[in-house]
Amino acid sequence: MPSLLTIEVSPRLESSTSRKLTALFVQEWRAANGDGRVVVRDLAKTVPPFVDAPWIGGAFTPPEQHSPESAAAIAISDDLVAELQAADHLVIGTPMYNFSIPASLKAWIDHVVRVGVTVSTANVGLLTGKKATVIIATGGDFGPGSPVEGYNLASGYLRQVLGWIGITDVRIVLAGRARAGGEGEMAVEQFGGDIRMAVAA
């Protein structure tokens, strides 16, 4: 049974463009994978804790040496890693914040990039055989040919860090000028074709 892990990031909930696009992705994915399982990890509703000293102590020592604080910190990471390991397809729906990604998504990444767990000590990504779709809602237009195309640090970063843990089959849907319905802005449906292509790829 195919499995989809959906990472929601935007705190704007019902008003969010990226959430509308991930909902469209999930709808299309369900249509293509009838009996598939969809797991949602909502980083706005439960913000992952930032990496701290107990987390670092836990990530680089065997479990039998963990303090109670390290064990608790690593248990959160282990849960997030297990969700990702179980997924065949990962979809991340995120806004762009200050040319990059929101801190909550970075916190999730810091939990799932684990030496010896998702990337080997020889720097080989261990989460192979998965697909990922990254939907990035932005206020500006960072598409090909835009004079500010290079300002977009989110796409390259997410592609690189997913590749680092072995997820190299990545499609990025850049939903530029999708400011959730104001006058003159792109309708969310505008990106439906890109979403369908990402599901079919």
Q: Reduced to 3 states, what is the DSSP secondary structure of residue 175?
A: strand
Half-sphere CA count of 8, side-chain side, radius 13 A: 23
The least distance separating ligand FMN from the CB of residue 80, rounded to whole angstroms, comes to 21
Could you give the angle at which helices 17-32 and 192-200 cross, rounded to 10 degrees? 40
The least distance separating ligand FMN from the CB of residue 56, rounded to whole angstroms, comes to 28
Nearer to ligand FMN, 54 or 95 (CB): 95
Task: Pick the binder of ligand FMN from 48, 54, 58, 95 (CB under 6 A).
Answer: 95
Counting residues that bind ligand FMN (by CB under 6 A) gives 18
- CB-based contacts of 186, cutoff 8 Å, min separation 6: 175, 176, 177, 178, 179
Q: Could you say whether residue 138 binds ligand FMN (CB under 6 A)?
A: yes
Q: Reduced to 3 states, what is the DSSP secondary structure of residue 107?
A: helix
- Give the contact letters, 170-189, x = binds to ligand FMN (CB under 6 A), - = no: --------xxx---------
Structure tokens at 99: 């040319």
Structure tokens at 140: 């500006």
The least distance separating ligand FMN from the CB of residue 136, rounded to whole angstroms, comes to 8
CB 108 within 8 A of CB 8: no
Nearer to ligand FMN, 84 or 178 (CB): 178
Task: Pick the binder of ligand FMN from 97, 146, 157, 168 (CB under 6 A).
Answer: 97
Structure tokens at 46: 């439960």
Nearer to ligand FMN, 125 or 140 (CB): 140
Residues that bind ligand FMN (CB under 6 A): 10, 12, 16-19, 95-99, 137-140, 178-180
